[in-house]
Structure formats: structure tokens, C-alpha cells
A and B are shown apart, each in its own frame.
Chain A
Amino acid sequence: GQNIDQPTEMTATEGAIVQINCTYQTSGFNGLFWYQQHAGEAPTFLSYNVLDGLEEKGRFSSFLSRSKGYSYLLLKELQMKDSASYLCAVMDSNYQLIWGAGTKLIIKP
């Protein structure tokens, strides 16, 4: 079966750095997406990785290792507005997204 695993909840302090991990087992691989979802709102796109390595976009970076079936999202200089759920999704061989349950990130002052 297909499976995406990520921690259910994490807590971090404003101004700090946090790393959210995602491991996956899917039928094929056509890229990995990270989305942010604030409570009661729609998911919004953060990043896409299809090759191994680190992609940096401002305060957010995403890393992929295809051989390990592993990705992480790194958030730097945390702000209160970063309190949200972060969703990891893998595009399988049928070009369908398989979603993790999301990691709820709580930022404390």
C-alpha cells in the first residue's frame, strides 16, 4: 500500500528553527509537495521537490532523498503566523497526490 508518515504535532518557539519530517512509500514517484494549511482554510502550496537535495525559498527550505523515501521542511526565523498544519504529499506513478495527515505546528512566544 501507499503510505505517507509525518509527526502529528510539533511545538517550537518564535524566532527558532523547526524541521518537519516526512517519510513515504508509494507506487512510483513523480515529486513531493509541501503545503501549508491554516485552521479552517484551504491548503496553499509551499514547495515541490523532484530531485535529491535542498530547495530554498526564503525562510522555508525543503529537502528530498529519493533513495531513503524521506523529505523534510525546514522553517527558519519562526513567526507566530507560521502556526498551521504542514501537509506532505507525494505524486505517484498515476500522477495522483497521496497525502500525509499533516503536522500541526504550534509556535509559542
Chain B
Amino acid sequence: IAGITQAPTSQILAAGRRMTLRCTQDMRHNAMYWYRQDLGLGLRLIHYSNTAGTTGKGEVPDGYSVSRANTDDFPLTLASAVPSQTSVYFCASSDSTSTDTQYFGPGTRLTVL
């Protein structure tokens, strides 16, 4: 593994189903983030984690949950998917939550029908 990986690459999901998007980084970064990117809008922060064991809410957290059991992994769960959650989801990491550069994974394209 080099950098940040995300899985799956893409997914079509029926409304009401539960889905977990996976994110793993091998840079030993302390901070990790989940964003969604929608056409015509800037990236919007869903949840973040400053360090293993802690998480925080971003701009658009409703309908999503995260956990940070260790440094490397930061899964994002949609408990009951709705069509408005159709988006491209990016995971990112940085050495800290100060002004350090954020590095992005390749993204997961999620379609909820």
C-alpha cells in the first residue's frame, strides 16, 4: 500500500441499505477526513478524526458515522442510504489538523437508487 486507498471504487446501492466505505493510509498520519464532492459544489467535510480514538463532525454529518480504532483505518458508514447521498466520497489524511497538507485517496463513486 502506498498513500491512501479506498474501497470500493464504485458502488450502486438500494435506498435503505447499510454501506461502509473503507479508507486506509500507510503514511502514519494522525488526522483523517471524509469529504463528499457533488457537481457544482466544493468538497464538503462529513467527519474528521484528529487522532486514533477521536472523531468529530464536519459540515454535513447527518446520515453518516465514522470510527477510528487505529491510526491507519477510517471507515465511513451510511446506516440507511438515501438517494441524496449519491456522490463521490474522498478520504484524506494529514500529519496533523493544523495547516498540514491534506492528501487524498482515489475516491468512491456511490449511487443510491
Contact = CB atoms under 8 A, between A and B. Distances in A.
Contacts of B48: 96
Contacts, number: 47
Contacts of A45: 101-103
Contacts of A99: 42-44
Given A87-B43, A100-B42, A41 B106 contact: yes
Interface in B29-88: 40-45, 48, 58-59
B47 to A, nearest CB: 11
Contacts of A91: 99
B111 interface: no
A102 B40 CA distance: 8
Contacts of A86: none
B42 A102 contact: yes
Given A31-B99, A96-B58, A44 B42 contact: no
A31 B94 CA distance: 15
Given A96-B58, A99-B44, A43 B104 contact: yes
B9 to A, nearest CB: 11
A71 B58 CA distance: 25
Given A87-B43, A101-B42, A43 B90 contact: yes
Nearest to B101: A45
Contacts of B97: 95
Nearest to B43: A99
B79 to A, nearest CB: 24
A99 to B, nearest CB: 3
A96 B42 CA distance: 13
27 contacts: A4-B42, A30-B98, A31-B99, A33-B101, A33-B102, A41-B106, A41-B107, A42-B90, A42-B104, A42-B105, A43-B43, A43-B90, A43-B104, A44-B104, A45-B102, A45-B103, A87-B43, A89-B42, A95-B97, A95-B98, A96-B45, A96-B59, A97-B43, A97-B102, A99-B44, A100-B42, A101-B40
Interface of B: 40-45, 48, 58-59, 90, 97-99, 101-107
